[in-house]
Amino acid sequence: MLRLLRAVLWGLGAILVVATLLPFFPGEAWWIRIFDFPRMQLAALLAVVFLLCLFAFDWRQARFWVLAGAVLLCLGYQSARMLPYTSYWPKQALTATEAECPEDRRLSLMVVNVLQDNRDSEAVLERIAAHEPDLLLLIETNAWWADALAPLEEDYAEIVAQPQENKYGLLFFSRLDLIEPKIRRLVEDEVPSVHTRVRLRSEMEVAFYGLHPRPPEPSQDTEERDAELVLVGREAREVDAPVIVAGDLNDVAWSDTTRLFQELSGLLDPRIGRNLYPSYHAKWPFLRWPIDHVFFSADFMLMQMSRLEPVGSDHFPILVELCHQPANEGQENAPDAEPEDQEEARETVEEGREAAEEGEE
């Protein structure tokens, strides 16, 4: 029995080590990039393997130190990548209380990937009614969802609708005035995004980007997704207004692509120093990771961020409330891009557009 356990530990340990090392390799192949996602799960399994090694192997033998050492190094690496998304790390976005923020400077936003085949529209409407966000971005919305969510038109005067049947439809509702709202297709014709200015109650204008790029999966590498994030990141840096980027980005908070996006855009991630807020998969507790995001510029402070109760989708809704505090700009640890990041961004956009053109042929 002990011999069988040792064989299993060697096999499982080798798989976990390879899964940890694969994302170090350059390239956008889906079977490499997919291992950016399950760092929590890999860390948990690595910890179990290490503890079982203590029981199954003789500590005086070299094979124990080879296996246990490799597993422990990988566990340390995975933990280090996730550490910034815990309360043990300094907050990247500072916190504002209700007393510190006048009503006219507040902005609430809910992001909901409804799951196109989900039919529990009542749960979605109930969650929206319970929180009454100023801005509401609904993802994977087709014609059925556009009809089911029509009651929202009574409370939201401004609507940007792009329902589609390919799981990339978008609906954007706003209680605040929108300025020049538009649907753009930055990389792929079948993948739209929402771009608009939002006028706060204080009359300040905010640039808003609502995104849902394709995920890495068999037959779908990440060139197009990465290019879209880079394009929005570069544009956000140049905008002469506060910026919010939100949506199901189909990328985890700790990936190199999200790091590049933040450095290019200078936007803050409210998860850093707080919590992972894993938003997917709502129905599989062991397979969850943070892919629904809200990033914002340094002239915002965070009043609250919540992962809400499920709505029948495979994603949890995410709710944030922000406070516009321009005097705070520069006091937060905003990321910045180095020259090598700009070169990486240029190559990423070129590769993404080439991949999109090949996909259309």
How high is the pLDDT of residue 170? 98
Banded pLDDT at 12 (limits 50, 70, 90): very high
Whether the pLDDT of residue 332 is over 70: the answer is no
Residue 168 and residue 65 in one domain: no
Residue with tokens 């692509």: 257
Whether the pLDDT of residue 2 is over 80: the answer is no
Cα 74 from Cα 222, distance rounded (Å): 24
Q: What is the pLDDT of residues 144-203, one digit of tens each?
A: 999 999 999 999 999 999 999 999 999 999 999 999 999 999 999 999 999 999 999 999
CB 142 within 8 A of CB 171: no
Whether the pLDDT of residue 361 is over 60: the answer is no
Q: Which residues contact 136 (CB under 8 A, 6 or more apart)?
A: 109, 110, 112, 128, 152, 156, 171, 172, 173, 174
Q: Domain total for the chain?
A: 2
Q: Which one has a higher pLDDT value, 334 or 353? A: 353
DSSP 215: P
Residue 142 CB-half CA count within 13 A: 9
236 in a domain, yes or no? yes
CB 343 within 8 A of CB 259: no
Among 50, 85, 120, residue at a domain's last position: 85
Least confident of 21-25, 44-48, 242-246, 323-327: 323-327
254 in a domain, yes or no? yes
302 in a domain, yes or no? yes
DSSP string, 1-37: -HHHHHHHHHHHHHHHHHHHHGGGS-S--HHHHGGGS
Among 54, 85, 116, residue at a domain's last position: 85
Please give the mean pLDDT across all residues of the chain. Answer: 93
Residue 50 CB-half CA count within 13 A: 17
Cα 361 from Cα 358, distance rounded (Å): 5
Residue 193 and residue 288 in one domain: yes
328 in a domain, yes or no? yes
The CA-atom distances, in angstroms, between 193 and each of 34, 142, 283 are 23, 14, 27
The residue type at 174: S
Domain containing 196 — which CATH number? 3.60.10.10
Banded pLDDT at 329 (limits 50, 70, 90): low
Whether the pLDDT of residue 307 is over 80: the answer is yes
b (16+ CB within 10 A) / e for 139-168: bbbbeebbebbeebeeebebbbebbbeebb
In this structure, the dihedral spanned by the alpha carbons of residues 13, 15, 16 and 17, taken in order and rounded to 10 degrees, is: 80
355 in a domain, yes or no? no
Residue 107 and residue 80 in one domain: no
- Please give the average per-residue pLDDT across 275-290, as a whole number: 95
DSSP 132: -
Q: What is the pTM of this model?
A: 0.94
The CA-atom distances, in angstroms, between 282 and each of 1, 82, 114, 291, 316 are 37, 20, 11, 12, 6
How high is the pLDDT of residue 336? 77
187 in a domain, yes or no? yes
272 in a domain, yes or no? yes
Residue 322 and residue 251 in one domain: yes
The CA-atom distances, in angstroms, between 160 and each of 113, 172, 212, 323 are 16, 5, 15, 24
Cα 226 from Cα 351, distance rounded (Å): 9
Whether the pLDDT of residue 122 is over 80: the answer is yes
Q: Which one has a higher pLDDT value, 297 or 327? A: 297
Q: What is the pLDDT of residues 77-101, one digit of tens each?
A: 999 999 999 999 999 999 999 998 9
Of 246, 238, 236, the closest CA to residue 213 belongs to 246
- Looking at the DSSP bridge assignments, the partners of residue 118 are none
Cα 355 from Cα 361, distance rounded (Å): 10
Tokens of 306: 């919540």
3-state SS class at 106: strand
- Please give the average per-residue pLDDT across 113-126, as a whole number: 98
Whether the pLDDT of residue 127 is over 80: the answer is yes
- Please give the average per-residue pLDDT across 208-229, as a whole number: 94
Residue 194 and residue 319 in one domain: yes
b (16+ CB within 10 A) / e for 213-247: bbbbeeeebbbbbbbbbbbbbbbbbeeeebbbbbb
Cα 275 from Cα 71, distance rounded (Å): 25
